[in-house]
Amino acid sequence: MTTWGGRFSSDNPGTEARAFTSSFRLDQRFYRESIAGSIAHASMLGHTNIITGDESESLMAGLRKIRSELDSDGFPNDYSHEDIYAFIEDKLHKLVGPVAGKLHTARSRNDQVATDFRLYVKGGIARLASEINQMRTVLLTVADREVQTVFPGMTHLQVAQPILLPHLLLAYEQMLKRDLQLANHAYLTADVSPLGSGALAGVPYPIDSEISAKLLGFSQVSRNSLDAVSDRDFVTQFLFAATMTSIHLSKFAEEIIIWNSQPYSLVSIHDSYATGSSIMPQKKNPDVAELTRAKTGTMIGIMSGFLSVLKGLPLAYNLDLQEDKEAVFRTEDTLLPAIKTFSGMLSTLTINHEQARKVAESGFSTATDLADALVQTGMTFRKAHETVGEIVHHLESKNESLDSLSADTLASFAPGVNYETIRLDTKSSIDSRRSYSGTAQVNVTLQIEEAKSHLAENRQLWGKRSPNLDL
Ligand code: ARG
């Protein structure tokens, strides 16, 4: 059955076109949002006397019954319906009789689908936020456990300066915190009810859009009906928040793959998060990290694909917009398992402390500290930089490290500098970096505490945000 048979001849739509244009398989995923949207609409129609109170009650009771049947039995294996709307209306007719025909008064599928999908995406964003916060919890747990672990800080993938490992973990925590800001922005964009916009121009009934919006937990009502039925910014913003999260995960995955490789050996991935090779018996591969990195490519593809769908669409509704479902569902199904599994891998990762310290000490990593010490004696930083560069050059040619810098060598390059006051060990280097965003222990400990309290607050915020669909 279609919801628009009257205008067409009996063989409409043809089997091929029907199969191609139907969205029923995908729509099933948001039947609860769709039924909630219809209950809110039926309630509003009753409150405004567009239909009688009894009619409204009977529509709502029928819709609730359909919901509980679908909750327990799922969907029949029959895909002849055009979409979820045709399916539910058909069922409603069978349950409550001709009054079912009144449900679609003052409504179009265009404002209906926009409403239902906003509800779904609001839930999807809350699920994403909860997964991100779960990963932040793991990061903070590892940061707590490794609070004193010295690690090589890199630039250009070259050992640069020693840092504390928790400082690095907290850098990822900051990225995830920004992803939550993007998610928050997407959530606020989605939190607007299009119901009452009709097909495109509004409706001629004395509706009260505030009633249905409030019942569905939307904080605002769309101001412009043309925009309301065609706007999918809430989708693109969700896709962007998810893709950025994925990009951050991918960067981290890449680091872990490098650290876990034999030449680095800074970390060891736990057996439960690694796989083997079918030919090389000794292999233990970082598949979870690799696939996490790859999923990001898939995510970028989904997002740019959907942006291309939107480009050049004239106002108002076009069926092109139906592609929003696939973009959102695939994004959720790609990203959420990746965050979950990646977090598991992270929580079981072993840090090879000895090796981390050795690498952190290598590559003249405290050369900047020596330059800073020379600045203390009154030298300009530029001069100090040049002098230490010469010292490094000299030591390198003798295959020596900064540890072996003698008082005589120092004196020959920087006469008059007090050798005794110079500290070039990694601990002193780290402890000296007390600037607000620096890696010193006091700072890192404070960062962990701040992150923990932000996390607790943020969990509370999102905890309240899953839409109530049990109207
Ligand atoms: N399946 C459609 C979608 O997801 C529902 C709205 C159809 N509206 C229309 N005028 N054909 O976008």
Domains and CATH numbers, the chain: 5-105 (1.10.275.10), 110-359+447-463 (1.20.200.10), 367-424 (1.10.40.30)
Rounded mean pLDDT of the chain? 95
Are 331 and 186 a contacting pair, CB within 8 Å?
Answer: no
5 pLDDT more than 90: no
Residue 102, Cβ neighbours under 10 Å: how many? 18
10 pLDDT more than 80: no
Query: Which residues 6+ apart lie within 8 Å of 204 measured at CB?
Result: none
Mean pLDDT for the stretch of residues 458-471: 94
User: How high is the pLDDT of residue 435?
Assistant: 96
116 pLDDT more than 80: yes
> 91 C-alpha to center of ligand 1: Å?
19
Residue nearest to atom 3 of ligand 1 (CA): 322
Q: State the catalytic residues.
A: 156, 277
> 83 C-alpha to center of ligand 1: Å?
8
> 319 C-alpha to center of ligand 1: Å?
6
User: How high is the pLDDT of residue 151?
Assistant: 98
Q: Does the beta carbon of 322 sit less than 6 angstroms from any atom of ligand 1?
A: yes
Are 201 and 225 a contacting pair, CB within 8 Å?
Answer: yes
70 pLDDT more than 70: yes
pLDDT-derived band at 54 (thresholds 50, 70, 90) equals very high
Give CA–CA dist 199/108, Å, rounded. 5
> 231 C-alpha to center of ligand 1: Å?
13
Mutate to test the pocket of ligand 1, among 23, 109, 309 (most ligand atoms within 8 A of CB): 109
Q: Tens digits of per-residue pLDDT, 177-198?
A: 999 999 999 999 999 999 999 9
Q: Does the beta carbon of 110 sit less than 6 angstroms from any atom of ligand 1?
A: yes
374 HSE (CA, 13 A, CB side): 22
> 126 C-alpha to center of ligand 1: Å?
25
pLDDT-derived band at 231 (thresholds 50, 70, 90) equals very high
Instruction: Pick the closest to residue 367 from 335, 413, 300, 305 (CA basis).
Output: 413
Mutate to test the pocket of ligand 1, among 319, 324, 329 (most ligand atoms within 8 A of CB): 319
Mean pLDDT for the stretch of residues 203-208: 98
User: What is the atom index within ligand 1 of the atom nearest the CA of 321?
Assistant: 12
> 109 C-alpha to center of ligand 1: Å?
6
Mean pLDDT for the stretch of residues 199-205: 98
User: How high is the pLDDT of residue 411?
Assistant: 93
User: How high is the pLDDT of residue 1?
Assistant: 60
Mutate to test the pocket of ligand 1, among 23, 84, 104, 116 (most ligand atoms within 8 A of CB): 23
Q: Does the beta carbon of 107 sit less than 6 angstroms from any atom of ligand 1?
A: no
Q: Does the beta carbon of 236 sit less than 6 angstroms from any atom of ligand 1?
A: no
User: How high is the pLDDT of residue 3?
Assistant: 75
Mean pLDDT for the stretch of residues 325-353: 98
Mean pLDDT for the stretch of residues 381-410: 94
Mean pLDDT for the stretch of residues 217-236: 98
Q: Does the beta carbon of 102 sit less than 6 angstroms from any atom of ligand 1?
A: no
User: What is the atom index within ligand 1 of the atom nearest the CA of 117?
Assistant: 4
Q: Does the beta carbon of 113 sit less than 6 angstroms from any atom of ligand 1?
A: yes
Q: Tens digits of per-residue pLDDT, 233-292?
A: 999 999 999 999 999 999 999 999 999 999 999 999 999 998 888 878 887 899 999 999
Q: Is 321 exposed, middle or buried (0-12, 13-18, 19+ CB in 10 A)?
A: buried
> 110 C-alpha to center of ligand 1: Å?
6
Name the more confident of 454 and 78.
Answer: 454
User: How high is the pLDDT of residue 232?
Assistant: 98
Mean pLDDT for the stretch of residues 313-332: 98
> 23 C-alpha to center of ligand 1: Å?
8
Mutate to test the pocket of ligand 1, among 83, 84, 234 (most ligand atoms within 8 A of CB): 83
Residue nearest to atom 12 of ligand 1 (CA): 322
Q: Does the beta carbon of 108 sit less than 6 angstroms from any atom of ligand 1?
A: no
